[in-house]
Amino acid sequence: MIKEFKEFALKGNVVDLAIGVIIGAAFGKIVESLVGDIIMPMIGAIGSVDFSNYFIGLNSAVTSPVLADAKKQGAVLAYGNFLTIAVNFMIIAFVLFMVVKGINKLKRKEEAKPAEPAPPAQDVVLLGEIRDLLKQKA
């Protein structure tokens, strides 16, 4: 019976993990779109720059100002793309931090609820009655 329960619980954990991975992948795409389509263009509008095309050519054959063409010409250090991915990471890390913080807060509320004291056991009640009767006789 216990072995069957453990196998069932393990299957439930695997399903939970699979759902978490799927939701995480979808959330990653949402954050990627948020950063690439909303945040970085606004930052770029302030300085009239496009971070996706920031790179350093690592050899003299790289002459193109566009990253895609420069990669075809030779090795490049695409630090603009790194900045975009770093912003993605910071957003995901912040959201996960807030989720964990909320879960911990809920757990603390559950632990903080005082439990009602358990009623005394039958034998303790009986012993208390015997003690009271002995006090009355004395």
Could you report the per-residue pLDDT of 43-54, keeping only the tens digit for each?
777 765 557 778
pLDDT tops 60 at residue 7: no
Question: In this structure, what are the phi and psi dihedrals at residue 57, rounded to the nearest 5 degrees?
Answer: -70, 135
2-6, 58-62, 90-94, 110-114: least confidently modelled range: 2-6
pTM, two decimals, is 0.53
Total domains in the chain come to 1
The whole-number pLDDT of residue 2 equals 54
Where in the sequence is the domain holding 117, given as residue range(s)? 2-137
Positive or negative: CA dihedral 58, 62, 66, 71: negative
Tokens matching residue 29: 């795409």
Torsion of CA 55, 58, 60, 65, to 10 degrees: -10
Tokens matching residue 12: 């439930």
CATH number of the domain bearing residue 132: 1.10.1200.120
Rg (alpha carbons) of the chain, rounded to whole number:
32
Indicate the pLDDT class of residue 31, thresholds 50, 70 and 90: confident
Mean pLDDT of the chain: 80
Please list the helix, strand and coil fractions of the chain in percent, rounded to the nearest 5, in that order: 75, 5, 20
Q: Which of 59, 85, 84 lies closest to 72, judged by CA?
A: 59
Indicate the pLDDT class of residue 25, thresholds 50, 70 and 90: confident
